[in-house]
């Protein structure tokens, strides 16, 4: 069975998932965007080598809008199934109606959560025929599942699980951390408006004011909010961290915190939990539905509420004795999203689609 996965920018976690799918016996090829690490701006700057060993064609910025090139590559692969990442990229979207691919099955991924917006309510009128062409739709989680249903996708066609993560490098971190639990908060993500880096910093400043011995906050990422990160007392900016460096960073911290005002899912939450970190996250984070259980493995706080975020940080500091047991609960909640299980679900759906 041959599958061509059309994707946006590469990442370490998706590369791990694609490798797991290939190891499960699927002939996987990938067409994705190349990230200019030097000038990536707000885009996560994963290096090309994160997809080493995979059959990957990386499109340069100039090639990404070349519909003819994308089509010729898809035809050349002689694939059974093509996976498209939603409807955002016209050259990928055009593959669905290409006569050269008339015998190919299509699967669409989507992570956009249902937010009851007017443009979502009328989306069926704009993309209904495109969605109907899909043999299956794979959603990130419950909130995207709700949007898929609003688009008219029947339950029989929907599978949860767009994202997974590389579990192997994180496997032993919880036990290692138990020897001496670090008193430090960690944020991993872009420094952009959607991630509410401003709310995170305000919340951290408020927490420092109410704590006699505040824990430091370490941030890993890049984006326009970097100057604010670097200017906030008690905060250390490590910049963008490549996948090979992430396990060490996770091991050195005691609580993961993310304050996003818009987060379709949040793989960083799953990675943090599997490493054994309790999590503070906002209700806006899509992964909170699947992964975070309040006061069991983390704390859920209202979106756009820096005071609640400060209180959550304060709670974590003053319940440090509970963090190891919370980490154990979180690791088990994250386990089903490891690349191994991601590949198992995807292979089953691919076989179902090919069989018709």
DSSP state of 171: T
How big is the chain, counted in residues? 356
Residue 101: helix, strand or coil by DSSP?
A: helix
Whether the predicted pLDDT of 92 surpasses 80: yes
pLDDT classification of 41: cutoffs 50, 70, 90: low
Q: What is the CA radius of gyration of the chain?
A: 21
Q: Are 253 and 271 in contact (CB under 8 A)?
A: no
- Residue 263 main-chain phi, psi, to 5 deg: -150, 95
- Identify the pLDDT of residue 58: 97
What beta strand segments (E) does the chain contain? 2-9, 27-33, 55-59, 81-85, 105-110, 136-139, 158-160, 185-188, 217-220, 235-237, 255-258, 279-282, 298-301
- Identify the pLDDT of residue 35: 78
pLDDT classification of 54: cutoffs 50, 70, 90: very high
Q: Helices in 24-95 by DSSP H: which ranges?
A: 67-77, 90-94
Domains of the chain: residue spans and CATH = 2-164+338-355 (3.40.50.2000), 168-336 (3.40.50.2000)
- Identify the pLDDT of residue 37: 54
Give the residue from 167, 232, 164 showing the smallest Cα distance to 197.
Answer: 232
- Cα–Cα distances in angstroms (integers) from residue 28 to residues 7, 15, 98, 234, in the given order: 13, 11, 21, 45
Query: How many Å apart are CA 81 and CA 4, to the nearest integer?
Result: 6
pLDDT classification of 45: cutoffs 50, 70, 90: confident
Whether the predicted pLDDT of 44 surpasses 80: no
- Residue 238 main-chain phi, psi, to 5 deg: -95, -5
Beta bridge partners of 29: 4, 55
Q: Are 336 and 227 in contact (CB under 8 A)?
A: no
Across 303-329, average pLDDT: 98
Give the residue from 259, 290, 132 showing the smallest Cα distance to 193.
Answer: 259
- Identify the pLDDT of residue 180: 97
Across 291-314, average pLDDT: 98
Q: How many CB atoms lie within 10 A of CB 35?
A: 22
Whether the predicted pLDDT of 183 surpasses 60: yes
Q: Give the sheet arrangement for strand 105-110, strand by strand.
A: 55-59, 27-33, 2-9, 81-85, 105-110, 136-139, 158-160
Per cent of the chain over pLDDT 90 is 96
pLDDT in tens, 265-293: 999 999 999 999 999 999 999 999 999 99
Model pTM? 0.96
Across 83-93, average pLDDT: 98
- Identify the pLDDT of residue 70: 98
- Identify the pLDDT of residue 257: 98
Q: For Cα atoms 120, 122, 125, give the angle at the middle one, nearest 5 degrees.
A: 125
Q: What is the mean pLDDT of the chain?
A: 96
pLDDT in tens, 133-178: 999 999 999 999 999 999 999 999 999 999 999 999 999 999 999 9
Across 112-128, average pLDDT: 97
- Residue 40 main-chain phi, psi, to 5 deg: -75, -15
């Amino acid at each position: 069975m041959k599958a061509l996965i059309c994707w946006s920018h590469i990442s370490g976690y998706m590369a791990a998932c694609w490798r797991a799918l290939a190891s499960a016996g699927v002939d996987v090829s990938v067409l994705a965007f190349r990230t200019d690490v030097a000038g990536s701006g707000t885009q996560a700057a994963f290096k090309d080598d994160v997809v080493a060993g995979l059959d990957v064609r990386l499109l340069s910025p100039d090639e990404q809008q070349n519909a003819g090139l994308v089509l010729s590559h898809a035809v050349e692969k002689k694939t059974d199934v093509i996976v498209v990442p939603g409807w955002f990229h016209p050259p990928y979207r055009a593959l669905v109606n290409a006569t050269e691919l008339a015998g190919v099955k299509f699967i669409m991924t989507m992570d956009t959560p249902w937010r009851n917006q007017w443009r979502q309510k009328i989306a069926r009128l704009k993309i209904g025929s495109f969605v109907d062409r899909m043999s299956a739709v794979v959603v990130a989680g419950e909130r995207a599942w709700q949007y898929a249903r609003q688009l008219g996708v029947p339950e029989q066609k929907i599978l949860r699980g767009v994202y997974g993560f590389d579990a192997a490098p994180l496997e032993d971190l919880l036990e290692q951390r138990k020897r001496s639990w670090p008193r430090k908060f960690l944020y991993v993500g872009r420094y952009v408006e959607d991630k509410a880096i401003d709310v995170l910093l305000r919340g951290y400043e408020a927490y420092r004011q109410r704590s006699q011995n505040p824990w430091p906050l370490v941030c890993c990422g890049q984006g326009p909010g970097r100057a604010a990160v670097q200017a906030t007392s008690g905060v250390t900016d490590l910049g963008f961290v490549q996948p090979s460096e992430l396990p060490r960073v996770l091991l050195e911290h005691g609580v993961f915190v993310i304050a996003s005002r818009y987060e379709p899912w949040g793989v960083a939450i799953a990675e943090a939990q599997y490493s054994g970190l309790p999590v503070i996250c906002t209700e806006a984070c899509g992964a909170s539905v699947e992964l975070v259980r309040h006061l069991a493995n983390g704390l859920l706080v209202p979106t756009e509420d820096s005071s609640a975020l400060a209180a959550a940080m304060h709670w974590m500091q003053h319940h440090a004795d509970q963090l190891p047991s919370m980490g154990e609960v979180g690791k088990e909640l994250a386990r089903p999203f490891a690349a191994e299980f991601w590949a198992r679900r995807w292979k089953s759906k691919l076989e179902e689609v090919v069989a018709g």
